[in-house]
């Protein structure tokens, strides 16, 4: 039993004619007859007395008609409540983006596309540290955050969808010529960096011991002394350091800014990492599902 069968049945009952019902529903006479016959087969009852002058409801047909009227009223009421619910929701959407994704990079195209799709919706965004983003989404200040899969912490009442695979790479700068006795090949350096243990997150927020080890290895290769170990406040400032001081950073060559400098070494990291959209399960903003579906489709 479906909506079109009910509509054919009730319209034929109201007009007293299959032909008239077909005209009102913009269907063929055959289609109306077939839908009514399917309904009669499902209920196991003859619903109409058919004659040359038209159709009349049988007793079984009258009972079904009374139920169908109640169903129509319930259906219309439910639709109205849904419209009232969605019209009562503020047309706003708050997005948080991890500071280690470059908002001027490829991620911006997906966000711009979503804005065009919902021009009447007030969409705001901010970039911040992952800890702050997770706190704000728990408090309800953000609807969703875009965050690296490996940066999602356990314990929160979150749902998330991975929408794009990343390409994480280690970039190192500050090369100085070395004596022949100290030479290390770039392949040896790549191998050494891939073997760093306990890499649990990306974009330069590994454990301190991991950073100390990668600094020791890259500094040994590049020929400079380690002077400090620190985190830059955001992705772009972290990358800009490559052009100013000897350093090593982890960037995403797909969603971040990739340096194109022959003096900067580019080492792929063997880390299976994806960008995710994360939200609080208690958040009922209907745009969350629209946003996750849009971004997943956009980056396929």
Whether domain 92-166+274-298 has CATH 3.40.50.2300: the reply is no
Alpha-carbon separation of residue 128 from 96, 142, 184 (angstroms):
7, 12, 38
Asked if residue 33 lies in contact with residue 18, where contact means CB atoms within 8 angstroms, the answer is yes
pLDDT at 200: 33
Judge contact between 236 and 257, C-beta under 8 A.
yes
pLDDT of residue 48: 94
* Domain ranges in the chain with CATH number 1.10.10.10: 3-88
Where exactly does CATH 3.40.190.10 map onto the chain?
92-166+274-298
Mean pLDDT by 10 residues, the chain (300 residues): 89 94 91 93 92 92 92 83 62 85 84 86 85 87 88 77 84 56 56 49 46 64 56 66 70 76 73 86 86 90
User: What pLDDT, on a 0 to 100 scale, did the predictor assign at position 89?
Assistant: 56
- Please state, in angstroms and rounded to a whole number, the distance separating the CA atoms of residues 230 and 72: 66
pLDDT of residue 236: 72
Q: Give residue 225's pLDDT.
A: 58
Task: Return the CATH architecture of domain 3-88.
Answer: Orthogonal Bundle (1.10)
């Amino acid at each position: 039993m479906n909506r079109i069968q009910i509509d054919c049945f009730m319209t034929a009952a109201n007009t007293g004619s299959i032909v008239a019902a077909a005209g009102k529903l913009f269907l063929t006479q055959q289609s109306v007859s077939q839908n009514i016959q399917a309904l009669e087969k499902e209920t196991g009852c003859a619903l109409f007395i058919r004659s040359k002058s038209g159709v009349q409801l049988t007793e079984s047909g009258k009972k079904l008609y009374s139920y169908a009227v109640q169903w129509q009223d319930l259906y219309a009421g439910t639709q109205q409540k849904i419209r009232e619910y969605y019209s009562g929701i503020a047309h706003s959407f708050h997005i948080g983006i991890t500071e280690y994704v470059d908002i001027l990079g490829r991620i911006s195209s997906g966000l711009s596309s979503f804005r065009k799709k919902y021009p009447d919706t007030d969409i705001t965004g901010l970039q911040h540290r992952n800890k702050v983003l997770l706190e704000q989404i728990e408090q309800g200040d953000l609807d969703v955050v875009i965050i690296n899969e490996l940066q999602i912490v356990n314990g929160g009442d979150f749902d998330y969808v991975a929408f794009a695979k990343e390409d994480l790479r280690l970039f190192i700068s500050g090369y100085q010529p070395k004596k022949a006795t100290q030479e290390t090949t770039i392949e040896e350096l790549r191998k050494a960096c891939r073997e760093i243990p306990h890499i649990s997150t990306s974009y330069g927020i590994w454990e301190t011991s991991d950073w100390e080890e990668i600094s020791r290895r890259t500094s040994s290769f590049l020929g400079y002394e380690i002077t400090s170990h620190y985190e830059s406040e955001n992705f772009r400032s972290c990358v800009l350091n490559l052009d100013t001081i000897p350093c090593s950073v982890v960037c995403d060559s797909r969603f971040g800014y990739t340096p194109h400098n022959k003096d900067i070494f580019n080492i792929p990291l063997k880390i299976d990492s994806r960008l995710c959209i994360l939200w609080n399960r208690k958040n009922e903003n209907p745009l969350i599902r629209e946003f996750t579906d849009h971004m997943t489709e956009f980056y396929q």
